[in-house]
Amino acid sequence: MKRIITLQDISCVGRCSITVALPVISAMGVECGILPTAVLSTHTMFKTFTCKDLSDQIAPIADAWEAEKITFDGIYTGYLASGEQCRQVCAFFDRFANADNLVLVDPAMADNGKLYAAFDSSFPQEMAKVCAKADIILPNITEACLLTGTEYRTEYDEAYIDGLLCRLLDLGCRTAVLTGVSFAPDKLGVAYLDRDGNRFSYFTRRCPQSYHGTGDLYSSTVLGGVMRGLDLGDALALAADFVVTCIEATASSKESRWYGVEFESQIPLLCRMLEERL
Ligand code: PXL
């Protein structure tokens, strides 16, 4: 069985980061170790929240793993709480990333044209250094603009998306995947470009609802799929289909909550979708 390590926060309530990655990746048949980089009461979209930054724990935990000769088939990062934490994560990559494993970075820091409230304007350049060390990065369009100093647009054409993908590769990563791409009002999807010039895109129907944590659900499912041996395009498509299913389940649930997507009820379906594609 493949083993990955995910470095991101624990938001105790609200279905994002580790509380999504751990159940989803485990259900996909991949061992999911965690390195909690911060503990928050909820994610930062709530009016009131606490945050204990655990950046100073990353190096000693890495020391212990190195002493125990623990290795990982994948390293996956999501929301990082500070610029200092980005530097600690880069140092972690330098110790644990190698030619035989995969580094996937979801630079979760912004959406809808805006940086999340907890960050200042210097944060994207620290996250860009984390992206530089990745095999695969998965920004949305807002994050891609902040990472590359590109003007954010809500109306765009294929040339704009292509320009963003090229600039993301210039950061240093091997494959850039843009999420939340749309060229038609009723379709939403992803597009990627890699260093060898390979391109791929995949679109699903657009759901009118939007829930927090769908980006984390998407990245976790992509990583699970790739670790199970799907090629990247198949993993991106599987994850897109799964997220749409979860959004629809959330929208039709009586307990539908704005802060998180109801993925739990859909886990058996995810397992079937994965098995069909293996
Ligand atoms: O879903 C991304 C995310 C993860 N973790 C925390 C967040 C957010 C988005 O706001 O605040 C703490």
What φ, ψ does residue 202 adopt, rounded to 5°? Answer: -150, 135
Mutate to test the pocket of ligand 1, among 12, 42, 43 (most ligand atoms within 8 A of CB): 43
Between CA 42 and CA 143 the distance in angstroms is 21
CA distances from 4 to 45, 84, 148, 157, 178 (A): 28, 23, 28, 36, 23
Q: What is the mean pLDDT of residues 86-101?
A: 98
Taking the CA of residue 108 as reference, the ligand 1 atom at the shortest distance is: 2
Could you tell me if the CB of 14 is within 6 A of ligand 1? no
For residue range 196-231, list pLDDT tens digits in order.
999 999 999 999 998 999 999 999 999 999 999 999
For residue range 98-124, list pLDDT tens digits in order.
999 999 999 999 999 999 989 999 999
Please tell me the predicted confidence (pLDDT) of residue 32.
98
For 167, which DSSP code? H
Average pLDDT score, the chain: 97
For residue range 134-152, list pLDDT tens digits in order.
999 999 999 999 999 999 9
Q: What is the mean pLDDT of residues 49-64?
A: 97
Q: What is the mean pLDDT of residues 34-47?
A: 95
Give the end-to-end CA distance of the chain in Å, rounded to a whole number. 15
For 53, which DSSP code? E
